[in-house]
Every structure is written in C-alpha cells, then in structure tokens.
Chains A and B, each alone.
Chain A
Amino acid sequence: MNPLISGIPVPFFLGLAGILFSIGVLGVLIRRNAVVIFMSVELILNSVNLVFVTFSKSLSNISGEVVVFFVMAIAAAEAAVGLALVIAIFRQKKSANVDELQEMKW
C-alpha cells in the first residue's frame, strides 16, 4: 500500500471525503428544497467516488476506478429520474418544498 499519492498523504484525501460526505448529509437533512436535496445527494456520491479513487490509486488496483464510473452513471440516471419527479410534483403543487409533500404517508 502506498501511503502517498502525488506526495499528499492518503488520510488527507479520506478527510476531505468525510467532510464532503458530512456536508452532503447535512444538506439532505436540513434543506427544504427538493432540487437542493438532490444536489446534496450528488455531493455524497462524489465524496464516495473520491474515496474509491484514493484507494484505487494507493493500492494500484484498477477495480476501484471502474466502480467510480458505475457510480457516476447511476448518479446521472438517478438525477434524471429524480428531477423528473420533482418537476411533476412541482406542476401539481406549485412548490418544490419537501415539507409540503406528505403524500408519502399514505
């Protein structure tokens, strides 16, 4: 295992990923706008991608990077579906505020 990538220690990468992940989770939890929540979700996915790439590099193992491409593809698809849903709900409700959407209860 290589403790350095381009001269920067691996824990720095992992710390950045952790910070990004936490910001993403906080965004999901405290923002009310559905679009912003989606952006936060993308942030979470990106932080995970960063972890994958970091380990892939330090272990000189290509499969991590392969997974990253999978995650990107799926994130894109998810964003497309999610945004379509948000737009559909917005047309119904004239709002993208998740606190006004309680239909999930039923």
Chain B
Amino acid sequence: MLDLFPLVVLFPLLGFLHNALLRNKVPHRFAGIVATFAVFLSFLVTLVSFYQFRPMERTAPHIIHVFSWIHVGNFQADIGYQVDQLSLYMTLIITGIGTLIHLYSMGYMKGDHGYNRFFAYLNLFIFSMLNLVLSDNLVLTFLGWEGVGLCSYLLIGFEFEKSSAAAAGMKAFILNRIGDVGFILGTGFLFWIVGSVRYADLQASIPGLPGFINYANLIALFFFIAAMGKSAQVPLYVWLPDAMAGPTPVSALIHAATMVTAGIFLIARLNFVFLIAPDTSFFIACIGAFTALFAATIGVLQNDIKKILAYSTVSQLGFMFLAMGVGSYVAGLFHLMTHAFFKALLFLGAGSVIHALHHEQNIRKMGGLFSKIKITSWTFLVGTVAIAGLPPFSGFFSKDLILEKAYVYPVYGPILWTFGVVAAFFTAFYMFRLVFVVFFGKDNTQTHGKTIHESPGTMTFPLIVLAIGAVVTGFLQTPHFFLNIHKLESYFEPVLKYGKELAVVHQATVKGTELGSQVEMGLALFSVCVALIGILFSYLLFQWKKSEILEEHTGFRKILFHKYYIDEIYDFIIVKPFLFFANGIGYFFDRVIIDRFFVTFGFSLAWFGGALRRFQTGFVGDYALYIVLGSFCIILYLLAKGV
C-alpha cells in the first residue's frame, strides 16, 4: 500500500474532475457521494499506509517518485511524495476531518443550486492540500500552497452573486499573495545557497554548508512571512474573519482545520532552517503570542457566530506559532491537531445552528436553543470546553504544553507565557459567552413561523465523531503528573532529529530549563483556574445577570467592537494611497499624457489623409490641373537647379 500512496492524491483529483466536468449532468446526491467517497478512500489508503509505515519505529522517510516535472540545468523539481511521520500526520487530519466535513456538507448544502460546483471545489482543495503536505520538494509544496489559496478564494466567493462574498474572496486571495512572495523568495534563497529544492537534499546538505547559518534567519523570515499570510497572523490576519462569507463547511475545513495550519506545517517541515534561526524564531513567538491575545480580545464583542469562531481561530493559530517560535514543534503540531478537531466541531455546530434557524448568524437573535437542538448543543458544548482548556479535554493538554514551553523559554519566556495565559482567559470568556447567549440565554429567535429542527443525520454524525475526537486526542501527549504519555514526542522524533542536531552544532539551540513536576502542575492548575475564572465571568455576565454590559458601545468597548479599526487603518494607510496612486497613473498619466500623445499622432495622420482626400474630386479637369501644376513645379526646380 505504501507504493500505491499516490492514490491518496489521485482520488480527490478524480472526484474533482468528475464533479467539475459533469457538474450539469449528474444529480446532486450522486455528486456529493462521489466527492465524499473520494476523500474517504484517501483516508483509508492513508490509514493502511500509516500502519505499514510503522511510524513509531521507522526513521527514514519513504519517497515515491511519480514523474519528472521540471528539470532545467541543475534545478530539478519532480512530482514526488515524501511519506514520513509529519506528512502522514497531516494527511490523516486532512482526509479524516475532510471526510466528515464532506459528509456534513451533503446535508448542509442540500438544495443549493451550486451543489456540484461546491463539491468540485472541495475536492480540488483536498487535492491541493495533500500536495502541499506530501510533496518532497518546495516547488510542489508551493503548487499545493497556491492551490489551496485558489480554492479558498473560490469557496469564500462561492455565492458570488453577493458582492460582499466576492470582495471577501478577493481580500483573502490578495493578502495571501503578499505572503506567497515570501515563500518564493525563501525557495529561491534556499536553491541559491544549497542548490536543491528537495527536502531530503536540503536536510542532507545544510549541515555541510557552514556559511548557511548566516542566511538562516533571513530564509526563515521569508518562510514565516508566507506562513503569516496563509495562517492569518498579525499583520496579515484580516482576511480570515471576512472569509466567513463562504458556506460554513468551508470555514470549518479550510479556514479552521487545514489550510490555515499550512504555515505551521511549513515551519515543521523546514525545521532544519528554523531551528538554527533563533532570532526569527523569537520573532515568530512574539507575533504568535501577540496574535493570540489580540484576536482573543476582538472575539469578545463580536455578534456574528462565525466571526467569533474566526477570531478564535486566529487566536489559536497564534498559540501554535508561539509554540513554533519557542522551538517546541511537537506542541505546535499537537495543538494543530486538537484545534483541527474542536474548531471543525465548533464551526460545524455553528453551521447546524445557522441551519436550524434558517440562516440567521447574529447571536443576539438566538437563545434558548439547548432543548430544541440537543445533539448540536451537546457537541458544541464539548468543543467549547475543549477550546477553553479544561481537563481532560484535548485543548487543555495541547494549550498547556504550549504555555509550559513558553514559560521555560529563556528569552522573555514568562512574558510570552503571560500573553498566552491572558489569551486563554479571553478564549474561555468569549466562547462561553457564545454558548450562554446562543443555547441558554433569553430566546430571541425570530423564526417567522418556521420550526426550529435538529439537522439531518449527515450533519449530526460528523458532529458526534468530531466531539469524540475533541475529547480523546489530548491523551497523545500529557504532562508528567497526568499519565505522563509522550507518544507525539517520540512520534515526531525522526522528523525533527536533523534540525535539533544541527542546532546543537551551531549552538543556536535555545535550551529551556526542565521543569519539575511541581512547577508543571502549578502552571497547569493556574491555567485551568484562569479558564474557570473566564467561564465564571461570562456566566455571571450573560447567564445570571443577563447583562447587556457588552452591548452598549462606548470608549474602549467601541474600539473592540470595531476590531481596533484595523481594517480602516489598512484601508487608510495602504489601500487608499495605493488606489490614489493607481488612479493617478491610470487616469491621469496614462490617459492625459501617454494616450493623448499617441492618439494625437494617429489623429494627425488621419487628418492628413482627410486633407489629401479632398484632391480626389473625380473631375478630369482637376487632375489635368494637378498634372500641369506638378510639371510646372518640376520645371521650376530644374530651372533653379540648372540642368
């Protein structure tokens, strides 16, 4: 099965081709089944390969060369797949959660006239994402990287009749483009210095290049800029909240579980670059910590159920980057997985709520839904508890591991940790605000006479599976005082080994002090307390007091409600001047100066022709006169010149 691994990539491609080419021919139900099965088969193949690969014992990656793609001079990029612990891990997440979300979409998109188109896009997305994570070289990864960007654009703007959706798609695409420049630059630099774009070659030759260390920070920074765009970190995060204009399954699959984690994956994949770039790593940690807190504070005052979850995603991605920055790749990848589960669950739950309320997204027009949609409510609650970080749910373990690693980071560690903890507090607070307002609070639903009903089985089944995942996945890696499981750490050992050895050679490694289990327990208890206080606060405010305190917008609350006016600031600083400049070029310089010059030239020729036309009267006499005048001129000339 390992040698048949390219099938994993092939199935979604076939599904995409089927649905794209026959989108007007096949019935909706059939298209949905084809798309779902394409991903499901990929999942099965991955699962079998996973067991055959024996990831806990094997250290070398399994590389499958499919065919030669680009071969120019000494530049070689092939369609080849690298199966190792990291790519298998990502593939399992993508195909597993992807299958559930496809299944959910079958229920959610029912009756949508773009149903087949939607599934074609979803399959194309899965195909691109798999290329991104499985590729054995940077160029094919970039192909996937662009592919997911394209699908994100297509799916955000899925309901392109609405100009807001189309604009959101453009915004996502353009901001990602900024990051992609970083990716290209990083790839170019790596090729220039090392002479190869294949991960295996890079890994093998970088230790032999003593000069590489001088460029490591720069290259890492370029790749981090790419990650900033794709993974929505400050300052390129503004597209993700707007991306909620797409259908809910899209938000779950692309903008929570898979595509936005591509940045984390890239850092893990290039660990041998990032681990010897301590300055950039610290920068990553700072950006991550700041993003985590910044996005969490914005989430407190939003009223659109999907916007809240979007800011929460930005915040959680900040946590992951914090982990990457402090050099704990295992923690980052761990949180990537747990977050994929509970965030997909929350988004799908939100979709189920929206579905039940006939496309109402404003949480102030919800309330008292707990008894009406039981399965959705319970699963949503599970997801919320997981993201808030209460044991024994998955979010607790992964978030706690990150906070602990941040705490022991020797450079400003406690400050990073403080940021993280405050962000965790806000996370608990606004997520429970959401739960209280939507499921327990005063019933503000306006159904216009339609009944509120639980979603169909295709939608609730994924919710249940994801909820189970959100509960149990935390037990892959637990702290000393709690079972002391270190499965993930040993699992990722072979992938991260080279980078770590390299860092030791270059003394670039930032060694955190080992924590005693007492301190570790203290930290964990503290963060649980913080989460509980957050929950208590939101209980007091929204459930007990039925408070409207966060509804009247004055002073700082107003700033929060308007998301720190970041969009407006960007608009004012970048977009407006740029448009002004472009208008100046396009409508003044081009029209008035360039165009006028050339158009005048053309018109003068035309005028000249028009003047000549007058001579052609059609009278014989006129022509005879011209002949005479011409002869006369010639004679005069000859006389003047003297023959």
B-binding residues in A (CB < 8 A) = 25, 28-30, 32, 34, 37, 98-99, 101-106
A25 & B619 in contact (Cβ 8 Å cutoff): no
CB distance from A28 to the nearest CB of B (A): 5
A63→B617 CA distance, assembly (Å): 41
A98→B621 CA distance, assembly (Å): 8
Q: A25-B628, A29-B625, A29-B628 are in contact. Are A37 and B616 (CB under 8 A)?
A: no
| Residue of chain B at shortest CB distance from A106 | B618
Most interface-central of B616, B619, B623 (chain A CB within 10 A) = B619
In the complex, whether B624 has a CB less than 8 A from a CB of chain A is: yes
Residues of A within 8 A of B625 (CB): 29
B618 & A37 in contact (Cβ 8 Å cutoff): no
Q: A25-B628, A29-B628 are in contact. Are A37 and B617 (CB under 8 A)?
A: no
In the complex, whether B620 has a CB less than 8 A from a CB of chain A is: yes
B606-632 interface code vs A (CB 8 A; 1 in, 0 out): 000000000011111101110010000
B624 & A28 in contact (Cβ 8 Å cutoff): yes
A102 & B618 in contact (Cβ 8 Å cutoff): yes
Residues of B within 8 A of A99 (CB): 619, 621
B619 & A98 in contact (Cβ 8 Å cutoff): yes
Nearest 9 pairs of A and B residues by beta carbon: A105-B618, A102-B618, A98-B620, A104-B618, A28-B624, A29-B625, A29-B624, A25-B628, A105-B616
A105 & B624 in contact (Cβ 8 Å cutoff): no
B619 & A102 in contact (Cβ 8 Å cutoff): yes
CB distance from B638 to the nearest CB of A (A): 16
A28→B616 CA distance, assembly (Å): 18
A29→B619 CA distance, assembly (Å): 11
Q: How many residues of chain B have a CB within 8 Å of chain A?
A: 10
Residues of A within 8 A of B616 (CB): 105
A16→B91 CA distance, assembly (Å): 109
A103 & B628 in contact (Cβ 8 Å cutoff): no
CB distance from B102 to the nearest CB of A (A): 72
A10→B616 CA distance, assembly (Å): 41
Which B585-643 residues have a C-beta within 8 angstroms of A? 616-621, 623-625, 628
Residues of A within 8 A of B620 (CB): 34, 37, 98, 101, 104
CB distance from A81 to the nearest CB of B (A): 15
Residues of B within 8 A of A30 (CB): 621
Residues of A within 8 A of B623 (CB): 104
| Residue of chain A at shortest CB distance from B617 | A105
A102 & B617 in contact (Cβ 8 Å cutoff): yes
Residues of B within 8 A of A37 (CB): 620
CB distance from B563 to the nearest CB of A (A): 73
| 18 contacts across the A-B interface (CB closer than 8 A) | A25-B628, A28-B624, A29-B621, A29-B625, A34-B620, A37-B620, A98-B619, A98-B621, A99-B619, A99-B621, A101-B618, A101-B619, A102-B618, A103-B618, A104-B620, A105-B616, A105-B617, A105-B618
Residues of B within 8 A of A104 (CB): 618-620, 623
A103→B618 CA distance, assembly (Å): 6
| Residue of chain A at shortest CB distance from B625 | A29
| Residue of chain B at shortest CB distance from A25 | B628
A60→B104 CA distance, assembly (Å): 116
CB distance from B605 to the nearest CB of A (A): 22
Residues of B within 8 A of A29 (CB): 621, 624-625, 628
Residues of B within 8 A of A28 (CB): 621, 624
CB distance from B466 to the nearest CB of A (A): 82
A98→B618 CA distance, assembly (Å): 10
| Residue of chain B at shortest CB distance from A100 | B619
CB distance from B631 to the nearest CB of A (A): 9
CB distance from B427 to the nearest CB of A (A): 86
| Residue of chain A at shortest CB distance from B628 | A25
| Residue of chain A at shortest CB distance from B619 | A99
A34→B624 CA distance, assembly (Å): 13
CB distance from B404 to the nearest CB of A (A): 95
A101→B619 CA distance, assembly (Å): 7
Residues of A within 8 A of B628 (CB): 25, 29
CB distance from A97 to the nearest CB of B (A): 10
Besides A34-B620, A102-B619, A104-B618, 10 other A-B contacts (C-beta < 8 A): A28-B621, A29-B621, A30-B621, A37-B620, A98-B620, A99-B621, A101-B620, A102-B618, A103-B618, A105-B616
Residues of A within 8 A of B624 (CB): 28-29
A32→B620 CA distance, assembly (Å): 9
| Residue of chain B at shortest CB distance from A30 | B621
A26→B619 CA distance, assembly (Å): 16
Residues of B within 8 A of A102 (CB): 617-619
| Residue of chain B at shortest CB distance from A34 | B620
CB distance from B636 to the nearest CB of A (A): 16
CB distance from A8 to the nearest CB of B (A): 26
Residues of B within 8 A of A101 (CB): 618-620
A32→B621 CA distance, assembly (Å): 8
A28→B626 CA distance, assembly (Å): 12
Residues of A within 8 A of B621 (CB): 28-30, 32, 98-99
Residues of B within 8 A of A98 (CB): 619-621
CB distance from B542 to the nearest CB of A (A): 89
| Residue of chain B at shortest CB distance from A104 | B618
A28→B628 CA distance, assembly (Å): 10
A30→B618 CA distance, assembly (Å): 16
A106→B628 CA distance, assembly (Å): 23
A104→B621 CA distance, assembly (Å): 12
A99→B618 CA distance, assembly (Å): 9
Residues of A within 8 A of B617 (CB): 102, 105
CB distance from A41 to the nearest CB of B (A): 9
CB distance from A96 to the nearest CB of B (A): 11
A102→B628 CA distance, assembly (Å): 20
| Residue of chain A at shortest CB distance from B613 | A105
CB distance from B556 to the nearest CB of A (A): 84
A16→B619 CA distance, assembly (Å): 30
A37→B625 CA distance, assembly (Å): 13
A106→B616 CA distance, assembly (Å): 9
| Residue of chain A at shortest CB distance from B632 | A25
CB distance from B69 to the nearest CB of A (A): 63
